[in-house]
Amino acid sequence: MQRIERIELTTNFPIGPVNVYVVFGEKLTLIDTGLKHEKGWAELNSGLQKIGLSLTDLEQIVITHHHNDHTGMVDWILEKNPLIQVFAHKDTEMILKDEDYLEWSSGFFEKLFIEFGLPKEMAKQWAYRKGHRDYFEIATVDTVLQEGDFVPGLPNWQVIETLGHSQDHISLYCPDEQLFICGDNIIKGIHAGIFLDAPKTGNERAKPLLQYLSNLEKCRDLPIKLTYSGHGPNIENLNEAIDAQIGNIENRAQRVINTLKKSNGLSTGFEIIQDMYRGRYEKAVITFVFEIVSVLDLLQKRNVVSKEKVNGVDQYRLVNNCSFIKYN
């Protein structure tokens, strides 16, 4: 049976520790690297030592997505072992390292946040933080991965694109043993984090919650006995976890509908957030903006909510006082 070892690494995020995995394949492979800080670094080294390894034994790294709790220590690992090969989605390095893209990303989010209803100074502040907070310093992606690829050095593991949590998110599937390494695509007991990434220059932005729902169904179709998640425990019943994620999405969508009902007219996205997350949104504006942008995408697709622009700001209303239509 395929040997996979999990190492839990501390983060400073509410979600708690992040899981990285050592897969004993043709090449000794580390899946994700943890957040960049001294405590996590000590935990990674001690975790490897407990299973009889050190950083110099690792031969390659596979990154599930670019978020800094999954990529943060790539640079430090490469400083200790510069021969390690790095594998990631075809867009990961652009998101993390392309200076032109990073600059474009900040401008893109400033415009999106203003259209969402944030005050201009707040929009600028949070847009810059989003555009520049995740990055590689020295690392590069040696080999890009996309849907259907088999991972070099892990010949039994196939790449499944699972966009939604990010625009470069991949999962790994071992059909021979029905094993699944899913990054942050599905986390047991925690609702899905849906984040926006800026598109390539000039392109239309993705609608990540719609992507996410589609990819949940793609995962449901795979015969899977055990799932290794980016946070929390292993998932033994993936379809049950998928149903729970869909239920969480429906609940959030219903909360948005209820908020719009109370407004009795047009509301900006920012007004929806202020009502739904009063006293909480100020410390995590990006997280709540992305959540509600994505839910509004879904409700517009279902013709439950309409959007119009008023003085450069998007305004939302219920369509004919429409009641919510469940996902199916």
Strands of 140-278, DSSP E: 143-145, 150-151, 154-161, 170-174, 179-183, 226-229
Nearest in space to 85 (alpha carbons), one of 58, 52, 67: 58
Q: Where are the domains of the chain?
A: 4-97+137-243, 99-132, 248-318
The Cα 35–Cα 8 span in angstroms is 11
pTM of the shown model: 0.94
Sign of torsion, CA 135 139 144 149?
negative
pLDDT tens per residue across span 101-126? 988 999 999 999 999 999 999 999 88
Does CATH number 3.60.15.10 belong to domain 4-97+137-243?
yes
SS3 322: coil
CATH of domain 248-318: 1.10.10.10
CA angle 104, 33, 155 (to 5 degrees): 100
Domain 4-97+137-243 identical in fold to domain 248-318: no
pLDDT values of the chain reduced to their tens digit, one per residue, 328 residues = 899 999 999 998 888 999 999 999 999 999 999 999 999 999 999 999 999 999 999 999 999 999 999 999 999 999 999 999 999 999 999 988 888 898 899 999 999 999 999 999 999 988 887 655 566 788 899 999 999 999 999 999 999 999 999 999 999 999 999 999 999 999 999 887 899 999 988 789 999 999 999 999 999 999 999 999 999 999 999 999 999 999 999 999 999 999 999 987 899 999 999 999 998 888 888 899 999 999 999 999 999 999 999 999 999 999 975 555 554 4
